[in-house]
Amino acid sequence: MKRMKPFLILILAAFLIISCDSKESRDKPNVIYLLFDDLGYGDFSCYGQDKLETPNIDRLAREGMRFTQHYSGNTVCSPSRATLMCGQHPGHVYLRGNLAHERGAELDSAMVTLPRLFKNAGYSTGAYGKWGLGITNLDGAPNPLSHGFDEFYGWKSQVIAHTYYPGTMVHNGQEIRRKEGQYAHDLVMGHAFGFIRRNAEAGKPFFCYLPIAVPHAAMQAPEELHEKWRKKLPQFDTITGRYGAGPGEDCPDVINPVAGFAAMLENVDNQVGEMLALLEELEVDENTLIMVSSDNGAHKEGGHDPWYWDSNGPLRGHKRDLYEGGIRAPFIAWWPGNIKAGAVSDHISAFWDVLPTMAELTHQPMPVQASGISFLPELLGHNEQQEKAPFMYWEFCRGPDQNIWSQALRFGDWKYVKITVGFDEPVVELYNLAEDLGEEQDLASRHPEVLQKAEKIIEETRIPVNEVR
């Protein structure tokens, strides 16, 4: 047998290395998950907003897929993020309401949560912004680094995240004094861009989780953009928005918070454009999946005016409601060459489906606690292979004992809502979303058999929160 010449061996070896690297790159796409805070279903112009424009986010929708029936994990931030991290619906997850000082909000460090899933798949992992699942700076206390993240930069707590001018920010557990005039959100984005650059240049697949605070709480925006929008909306200059962020924290009042909201969104949209340019510069844009959503519906605090902005579009309700306006969220997925450009999906999905989707994407086993369904077939256009959930359940609790305030169930086009607090007896409502998206016509008295079916599903699927852990 004739021996192969040395230079041919080298060429073949190089080819095999390149082929393996290329295959590994395709098998491990980078993932960026941008989570807005308290953004309404109708706040992006690609979802119908006509008083401001979000051209870079619209680009993601135009070049990717826009979902019309995607839901957040809950109607307030901490439990919504818990469902995202754990892949469990609100009847199974350990957290179903915001807790004072975030005590008891920490994730189970033994559970394979979203960041741990990516770590197990060989990814670098970074989280930047508002964690919302426990204090981030206490020595030995659970924080993002305890759950699979290599790096965290953001606010110390979700209460301090009410202000964009906190005294300190936290980087990998250590508090760092914020310099005078620095806008915290821009610092968060700067650290995230640095993480993306370092890993892309090193050829390392990465998961970048961006739970930004915009447009939550105080309507504080970069001064130049705020002044621009004040000139456009002078009729609101008589309004002063106020918010608190805990003892000793600076949370400046905002003159014309209506303009502040628009300025905040324009700032983030500009940064999405910078992110896309960065991915193109680093030549990883075609191997990066970007997802954009919101943790719950639009809020009504700090002078924000969701009615002027028509933040929830045709939907009823806002943050803290389990009507569609409190839980239906915008969701955009962008992955050039893999997700069909301009696609619009009516697939019904929710935050607890993200973990199973990422497990399938990264070829990892499904975490045992997950109760969601992968929507990867939907993303890739394999609609005939897409499994559908038989129902979607939500439960919103308040107080240290996580007492139930409201429950909701969607099954098919039916939407069941039960409100426990504020009435002498619980109020039960029923809507047909196909005919009544705004949930204006209560059909409960006409369809007792549907109510009975809904209550049976809830009884069978729900685990009381005090039995979870």
Read off the pLDDT of residues 304-332 as tens digits, 9 standing for 90 and up.
999 999 999 999 999 999 999 999 999 99
Question: Do 380 and 406 share a structural domain?
Answer: no
On whether both 374 and 443 belong to a single domain, the answer is: no
Residues 154 and 303 both lie in one domain: yes
288 lies in some domain: yes
C-alpha 58/C-alpha 46 separation (Å) is: 5
Residue range 69-128, pLDDT digits in tens: 999 999 999 999 999 999 999 999 999 999 988 888 999 989 999 999 999 999 999 999
> Is there a single domain that holds both residue 72 and residue 102?
yes
Structural domain ending residue among the three candidates 359, 389, 419? 389
- Domain count along the chain: 2
Domain carrying residue 451:
395-467
Please indicate, yes or no, if residue 295 is contained in any of the structural domains.
yes
Least confident interval from 173-187, 394-408, 424-438, 453-467 = 394-408
Mean pLDDT score of the chain: 93
User: Could you tell me how many helices (H) and strands (E) the chain has, helices first?
Assistant: 11, 17
The reply to whether 164 falls in a domain is: yes
Residue 131: which residues within 8 A CB-CB, separation 6 or more? 81, 143, 144, 152, 154, 155, 158, 211
Of 114, 87, 72, 105, which is closest to residue 394 (Cα–Cα)? 72
**Continuous H helices in 87-134:** 114-120
Q: Give yes or no for a contact between 132 and 77, defined as CB atoms under 8 angstroms apart.
A: yes
CB proximity list for 11: less than 8 A, separation 6 or greater: none
Contact between residue 312 and residue 42 where contact means Cβ atoms under 8 Å apart: yes
Per-residue pLDDT at 251 exceeds 70: yes
Which residue bears the tokens 């439990």?
79
Residue 187 pLDDT: 98
Given a cut of 60, whether residue 129 has pLDDT beyond it is: yes
Place of tokens 């009042």: 253
Which of these three, 389, 420, 450, is where a domain ends?
A: 389
Could you tell me the CATH number of the domain that includes residue 435? Answer: 3.30.1120.10
List, for residues 208-248, the tens digit of each pLDDT value.
999 999 999 999 999 999 999 999 999 999 999 999 998 89
Residue 429: φ, ψ to 5°: -130, 155
pTM of this prediction? 0.94
CB burial of 335-367 (b: ≥16 within 10 Å; e: otherwise) equals: beebbeeebebebbbbbbbbbbbbbbbbebeeb
- The answer to whether the peptide bond before residue 215 is cis (omega within 30 degrees of 0) is yes
CATH number for the domain that contains residue 46: 3.40.720.10
3-state helix, strand, coil in the chain (%, to 5): 35, 20, 45
DSSP per position, 157-209: STTGGG-SS-SEEEETTEEEEPPTT--HHHHHHHHHHHHHHHHHHTT--EEEE
Average pLDDT over residues 447-464: 97
Of 24-28, 137-141, 198-202, 443-447, least confident by mean pLDDT is 24-28
Domain co-membership, 401 together with 460: yes
Q: Are residues 305 and 443 in the same domain?
A: no
Same domain, 64 and 139: yes
Contact 266, 311 (CB under 8 A): no
Residue 22 located in a structural domain = no
Last-in-domain residue among 330, 365, 389? 389
Residue 168 has pLDDT above 50, yes or no: yes
User: pLDDT tens digits, residue range 252-276?
Assistant: 999 999 999 999 999 999 999 999 9
Whether residues 69 and 117 share a domain: the answer is: yes
Regarding whether 144 and 288 lie in a shared domain, the answer is: yes
pLDDT at 100: 86
Residue 16 lies inside a defined structural domain of this protein: no
